[in-house]
Amino acid sequence: MSHKNEFLLTKIIATLGPASESVETILQLIEEGARAFRINFSHGAFEEHERILNNVRRAGEQSGVPVAVIGDLSGPKIRIGKVAEGGVRLAAGMAVAFQKEPVVAGEPAGDSPGELVFSTTYPRLVEEVKPGQQVLLDDGSVRLVCLDKTGKGGKAKLICEARNGGLITSGKGINLPDTNLSLPALTEKDQRCIRFAVEKGFDFLAQSFVRNGEDVRLLKDRLRDLGVRPTRPRSRKERDQQFAIISREFREFIPVISKIEKPQAVANLEEIIAETDAVMVARGDLGVEMDLAEVAVLQKRIIGLCHDYGMPVIVATQMLQSMIEAPVPTRAEVSDVANAIFDGVDAVMLSGETAVGKWPVEAVRMMNRIAGKTNQYLRSRAVDSSSPRKLQALKHRTPALAHGVKTIVRDIDARLMAVWSSMGGAAIFLSQQRMPRPIIAFSANPEILRRMALLYALTPVFMEQPASTAEFLKQVDELLLEKKWASRNDPIVLVLAQPIQQTGIANEICIHYVGESL
């Protein structure tokens, strides 16, 4: 539902920052098609995050459009310690050391004057990196290889050799693709951010540098302790996930988005999917820690596996990177965005383009245009009748009903679907079928509507609880005709509960022709 009355199948996430954090700009981003906003906890204080969150909520109210807010945890990111003002320039073949104790790199110090020694935010790096393993600095732009270790205890050093040159300044990131680190999944800062996100009512939490299913369980258990997950884990058959409120008695829920950006996460992908609520293909660090030439293949593989499980999936990083500076993207970037949409991802995400770029509104507008043209092509194609294979294995009523809807949509060439989904489950199972048709999802719960704003094909719309099925049909017809989302006699498929006041279950499919109830 963009300003052009298009239903975008694939949603747009915009990262907020200095270039886009005002209410006025956020309103423009919503108008251009953004349906979720990311607040990066790696930058800024809680006061700043709260101000941006309030701006999003205010813009959402003014626009009348449900929009989601994602809090992105920093995770166990290792960074260079302090470096002399202006930075230090490394050259190929240069010897570089790392030590545990804090030091200002580039300033004469210690027992070896003139030796270039760095410290890091993770002192155990000196112990855990082994000779022959890579140490990548500044998003992989500078590559070091560990040659040796010297000293013991607090005097231990890691001796490396630079394989190429580059300027290194304070706080630059370190990637260790060959090393299994004993870093905690959640840092002390993450713990503070989690509590903040719960207190302020964020809609999602994204977990950075996930390595395995246990990392996801740790975050879910912390959220459970804070009262925003079910009080006990559900059985493996039902699974403690799905983006929906999954118990009629349980009304507070923060879904977890697991960011796939480490080799260990790729190796443990299925166990992560079994634990998480959604997946993000975070191509930035993934392309640093793994062979850059393999990233496109990994993206396809991750998306395909998520589809098998009916798992929401997001593609992120450098999608329109050139628009940080330029008002138009490259042709390759346009193809990259379209390719992700062809693959049926739930959302595509803008990072620096909207956070710090010169053209934040234009970047969302361009992504909307690409999505609109790609969606137009997808809607012209027949609906595939297959269902996610892992959902078929569940043998539950709602996924079976959603698959039945898919068959009906194909057979009658339905223009769209409309679903009354008081708790979100029915709408989400319909979204998982990846039908290239809009799904209008009605609920009286604003939290549910905001979460649905992130998912494939769903257009969330607020509606008070209907008194009867007849009243629901009448309101649907009036809305579709008023908004010009459909014409009289267009075939649509309705999914609802019978009786409609029943919560937490969908048990009826109805073929309806727009205007029949009026």
d(CA 136, CA 176): 6
103 or 403: which leads in pLDDT: 103
Name every residue whose Cβ is closer than 8 Å to that of residue 279 and which is 6 or more positions away in sequence.
257, 258, 259, 260, 272, 273, 302, 306, 311, 312, 313, 314
Q: Does domain 389-435+464-513 have CATH number 2.40.160.40?
A: no
Is residue 242's pLDDT more than 70? no
Give the CA radius of gyration of the chain: 25
Instruction: Give φ, ψ of 284 to 5 degrees.
Output: -65, -70
pLDDT for residue 6: 60
pLDDT tens readout for residues 186-228: 999 999 999 999 999 999 999 999 999 999 999 999 999 998 8
Section 259-277 average pLDDT: 95
d(CA 269, CA 254): 21
d(CA 170, CA 90): 14
Query: Quick one: pLDDT at residue 114?
Result: 52
The share of the chain scoring above pLDDT 70, in percent, equals: 91
Q: Tens digit of pLDDT for each residue in 431-457? A: 989 999 999 999 999 999 999 999 999
- 236, pLDDT greater than 60: no
pLDDT at 395: 61
- Amino acid 22 reads S
Burial 4-22 (b: 16+ CB within 10 A, else e): eebbbbbbbbbbbbebbbe
At 63 the pLDDT is 96
Confidence label for 389 from pLDDT (cuts 50, 70 and 90): low
Q: Is residue 113 pLDDT above 50, yes or no?
A: no
| Residue 248: pLDDT band with limits 50, 70, 90 | very low
pLDDT at 107: 67
Domain boundaries, the chain: 11-76+185-379, 78-175, 389-435+464-513
Distance, CA of 149 to CA of 126 (rounded, Å): 8
**Cα 488 to Cα 436, 478, 481, 482, 516, distances in angstroms:** 21, 10, 7, 11, 8
Structure-model confidence comparison of residues 404 and 26, the more confident one: 26
Q: ∠ at Cα 355 (349, 358), nearest 5°? A: 110
Q: What is the 3-state secondary structure (H, E, C) of 367-388?
A: HHHHHHHHHHHHHCCCCCCCCC
Question: What is the C-alpha to C-alpha distance for residues 171 and 168, in angstroms, rounded to an integer?
Answer: 9
CB-based contacts of 268, cutoff 8 Å, min separation 6: 211, 212, 213
pLDDT at position 235 over 80:
no
User: Residue holding tokens 């807010």?
Assistant: 69
Q: How far apart are CA 177 and CA 58, in angstroms?
A: 42
According to the CATH classification, is domain 78-175 in 3.40.50.2300? no
Per-residue pLDDT band at 425 (split at 50, 70, 90): confident
Count how many residues are written for the chain: 518
Q: Which CATH architecture has domain 11-76+185-379?
A: Alpha-Beta Barrel (3.20)
Judged against a pLDDT cut of 80, whether residue 462 lies above it is answered with yes
What does the block give as tokens for 321? Answer: 């990177």
Instruction: Give the range among 62-66, 86-90, 252-256, 305-309 with minimum mean pLDDT.
Output: 252-256
Amino acid in the structure at residue 84: A
Question: Is the distance from CB of 255 to CB of 243 less than 8 angstroms?
Answer: yes
Question: pLDDT exceeding 90 applies to what percent of the chain?
Answer: 75
Question: In the prediction, which pLDDT does 253 show?
Answer: 86
Of residues 504 and 62, more confidently modeled: 62
* pLDDT(3) > 50: no
Cα 324 vs. chain centroid, distance in angstroms? Answer: 20
Q: What is the mean pLDDT of the chain?
A: 89
- The H or E element containing residue 407 is helix 397-412
b/e per residue, 475-490, with b = 16+ CB within 10 A? bbbebbbeeebbeeeb
What is the spatial distance between Cα 56 and Cα 21, in angstroms, rounded to a whole number? 8
pLDDT digits (tens, 9 = 90+) for 331-357: 999 999 999 999 999 999 999 999 999
What pLDDT does residue 312 have?
94
- The confidence band for 385, taking pLDDT boundaries of 50, 70 and 90, is low
The 10 Å CB-count burial string (b at 16+, else e) for 27-62 is: bbbbbbbbbbbbbbbeeeeeeebeebbebbbebbee
150, 392, 456, 465 from 399: Cα distances, Å: 59, 7, 16, 23
Nearest Cα to 273, choosing from 314, 237, 230, 302?
302
What's residue 393's pLDDT? 55
Does the pLDDT at position 396 exceed 80? no
State the pLDDT confidence band at 327, using cuts at 50, 70 and 90: very high
Q: Which residues are catalytic?
A: 38, 79, 259, 317
